[in-house]
Amino acid sequence: MSEGEPPKGEPAKRLDDLDERLRRLRERAPDEAVKKVGPGALARQSAYGFAFRIGVELVVALAIGGGIGWLLDRWLGTMPLFLLVFFFLGAAAGLLNVFRAAKEMNRDG
């Protein structure tokens, strides 16, 4: 670590030198330094968190779709029709959400 050695001298000069050394280090590995502390770093560590997210996404979309269908049916008096239609639309929305979440994860990883 020859670059890590702090040189002796005037404080102002040492500070200038620190700037110089930092600049050199950043030039050498600009991406690595960002990646290490970047936001994506934490998310990649937890597959459990991601699995949980996908599960919630699927179930919630189904519930919302079913809920909208049920409300429409109660309002229009066509009991099973909209419930069924929106149940499947909700399932589609859930898959869409999961697809997007997976795409996002690929971008990070």
Partner 1 sequence: MAEGANPLEQFAIHRIVTIHIGGIDASITNSAVAMVVAIVLVTLFLTLGMRRHALVPGRWQSLAEMSYEFVANMVRENSGHDGMRYFPFIFTLFMFILFCNLLGLIPYNFTPTSHIIVTFVMAMVVFIGVTVIGFARNGVGFLRLFAPSGVPVFLLPLIVVIEFISYLTRPISLSIRLFANMMAGHTMLKVFAGFVVSLGILAGWAPLAFVVALFGLELLIAFLQAYVFAILACIYLNDALNLHAH
Q: Write out the residues near partner 1 by the rule CB under 8 A.
A: 34, 37-40, 42-43, 45-46, 49, 52-53, 56-57, 60-61, 63-65, 68, 86, 89-90, 92-94, 96-97, 104
Residue 109 CB, shortest distance to partner 1, in Å, is 14
Residue at token pair 């930092």:
22
Residue at token pair 């998310």:
43
Please identify, using beta-carbon distances, which residue of 42 and 76 lies nearer to partner 1. Answer: 42
Q: What is the DSSP letter of 3?
A: T
Is the separation of the CB atoms in 64 and 91 below 8 Å?
no
**Dist. CA 62–CA 64, nearest whole Å:** 6
The total number of residues shown for the chain amounts to: 109
Please identify, using beta-carbon distances, which residue of 1 and 37 lies nearer to partner 1. Answer: 37
Residue 68 CB, shortest distance to partner 1, in Å, is 7
